[in-house]
Amino acid sequence: MTGTPAPMGEPIDTPLAAVNATRKGVMRRALRSLLRARWPILAIVILAAVTFCAVAGPSIAPLDPNRQSIINRLQEPMKPNRQGVVVNYLGTDGIGRDVLSRLIYGARVSIVVGFTAVLIGGTLGVSLGLIGGYFGGRIDDVIMRVADIQLAFPFILLAIMFLVVLGPGLGNLIIVLGIGQWVTYARIARSQVISQREKEYVEAARALGASTPSIMFGTILPNIVAPLTVIASFNVASVILSEAALSFLGLGVPPTVPTWGGMLAESRDQLLAGRWWLALFPGVAIMLTVLSFNILGDWLRDFLDPRLKAVG
């Protein structure tokens, strides 16, 4: 994939073995690079924890995130109750819901939205970019003009406009955020395809009689995956930020579903009274998750394309 030659002595005449050998080599190099860089490891640990919360939320959350308790409202973090036991480790909100449990459940929406929106935007963008770059001409012009038009909108405004009209909800949120991302992928895929289109291996596939879709998606795509992966990592970060902002504006999922952005929105009512914990924890959760994806993206870029490291 990155053009690493198979190590000497490997049976390079059997392609599958060669591929496996390089793949193992890449994994080993990745691991070594990770250990050297240190920060990406922390990022992976954080993301693993967040993903675990997203998947296993109901089993690890100490309490029901939606159970209200008026007598127990606005408890400070780590404050023991009358029996001297700490129940709400991170305190409770304005209607007595447990902050820690809501935080754990909130990971779900962020992770689900982050990944699915990037998957949708990525698939759409890469397909359109491949088509535009491979065929060129009129179809390419149309795709790129549409991309220009979309870039002319500040993205959040576009999202706000559509969500106001369509109404909030998880599905709409994912679609709007997903469609918001396609341009980046389309542009990168397109420029990569243009540089690969005339290479020998593509010529060879053509000569062997491979169909056009099979050349585009089977032959070229695997060779341009590296830059797309880097973009995807940064992209998940920015989608999570956008999701939080939209949830904050009340355009995300229904208020019964806990989200980090929604928790921040609710914390505003308690801000002047100085209930810091309501605003601090969800924000830290968003920041750590986004930061981890950014760090991982940085490392991936350096690892997959060492040329870029030379300058930045």
Q: To the nearest whole angstrom, how small is the minimum distance from the Cβ of residue 110 to other proteins?
A: 11
**274-293: which residues touch other proteins (CB under 8 A)?**
274, 276, 279-280, 282-283, 286-287, 290-291
Tokens of 194: 């243009």
Name the residue with tokens 């496996």.
20
Rounded CA gap, 74 and 32, in Å?
A: 47
Q: Does 109 bind other proteins (CB under 8 A)?
A: no
Q: Does 132 bind other proteins (CB under 8 A)?
A: no
In 69-199, which ranges are continuous DSSP H helix?
99-135, 137-151, 155-166, 170-179, 182-196
Contact characters 165-194, other proteins, x per CB under 8 A: xxx---------------------------
Q: To the nearest whole angstrom, how small is the minimum distance from the Cβ of residue 23 to other proteins?
A: 30
Other CB atoms within 10 Å distance of the CB of residue 1: 13
Check if the beta carbon of residue 247 is closer than 8 Å to that of residue 259.
yes
Q: Does 207 bind other proteins (CB under 8 A)?
A: no
Check if the beta carbon of residue 165 is closer than 8 Å to that of residue 107.
no
C-alpha distances out from residue 207 to 120, 131, 197, 198, 202, Å:
33, 20, 14, 12, 9
Q: Which of 221, 244, 253, 296 binds other proteins (CB under 8 A)?
A: 244
Q: Does 307 bind other proteins (CB under 8 A)?
A: no
Q: Which of 3, 9, 154, 209 binds other proteins (CB under 8 A)?
A: 154
Instruction: Pick between residue 146 and residue 194 the one whose CB is nearest to other proteins.
Output: 146
Q: Does 272 bind other proteins (CB under 8 A)?
A: yes
Check if the beta carbon of residue 154 is closer than 8 Å to that of residue 91.
no
Please choose, from the candidates 45, 49, 60, the residue with its C-alpha nearest in 3D space to the C-alpha of residue 101.
60
φ, ψ of residue 258 to 5 degrees: the values are -70, 130
Q: Does 141 bind other proteins (CB under 8 A)?
A: no
Q: Where do contacts with other proteins occur on this chain (CB under 8 A)?
A: 145-146, 148-149, 152-158, 160-162, 164-167, 237, 241, 244-245, 248-251, 261, 264, 267-268, 271-272, 274, 276, 279-280, 282-283, 286-287, 290-291, 294-295, 298, 311-312
